[in-house]
Amino acid sequence: MTVARTLQPLIVVLLASGCTPLPPPAPPPVEPAPRAPAISAEQRRAAEDIARQLTSQTGDVAAVYAALRRAYSGQGERFSETLTLAQQPPLKPLSYYQDDIERVTINRLLRPGEGLAYWRNWSKVLTGGSWDPAKQFRDPEEMRQVGNYAIFGILAHELGHYLTSHNFSMPAARMIDELWADQLAVAMMDHLAAANPG
């Protein structure tokens, strides 16, 4: 239920009693957008490589991983040569980073015809099956591509765990660790989107 639908009975009662609702608050002043960091030619190539893999019928998560590492490296991040990638079937709901063995485990990219099963699996995990992905996408190809972008976002998040565990010496509470990994992933995805606006 939306906030507007929740407040509707209250507004009706106020109007019926002769009260008038308060005017909406003035919008906050507009601040100039922060300046985005410069995008190098290598980062532009990494963004193009990632987009190509995510939309390809035969996309490879290992190629996305390599391009994402190049993109993070272009921002000054460093990776150990011992960091590895392990692929798992796309219906496994858990991807993760293991610090003790420096390994990221991630779903492989979706192949044609796998999008609906992927999203139905997430519906089962997150909503007990009450969300119907078939109603949310135009066609199976859109399901597959959006699923691949979701896998890419999760991979960026798991690499964020690697970077935070190697760059911060303080042990972090689990929620803060998740927040840092999310912030690194979102910042990198935003940077790559700016590098490949098409």
**Which sequence spans correspond to the domains of the chain?**
39-195
* pLDDT tier for residue 11 given thresholds of 50, 70 and 90: very low
Candidates 143, 167, 156, 142; CA nearest to 193 is 156
Position 188 pLDDT exceeds 80: yes
* pLDDT tier for residue 62 given thresholds of 50, 70 and 90: very high
b/e map of 68-90 (b: 16 or more CB within 10 Å)? bbbbbebeebeeeeebebebeeb
Position 75 pLDDT exceeds 60: yes
What would the mean pLDDT of 92-107 be, rounded to a whole number? Answer: 92
DSSP code for 116: H
User: Which two structure tokens, joined as six digits, stand for 21?
Assistant: 């609702």
Q: What is the pLDDT of residues 81-98, one digit of tens each?
A: 999 999 999 999 889 999
User: Which two structure tokens, joined as six digits, stand for 8?
Assistant: 């509707």
Which DSSP string do the residues of 149-197 spell out, in sequence order? HHHHHHHHHHHHHHHHHHH--S---HHHHHHHHHHHHHHHHHHHHHH--
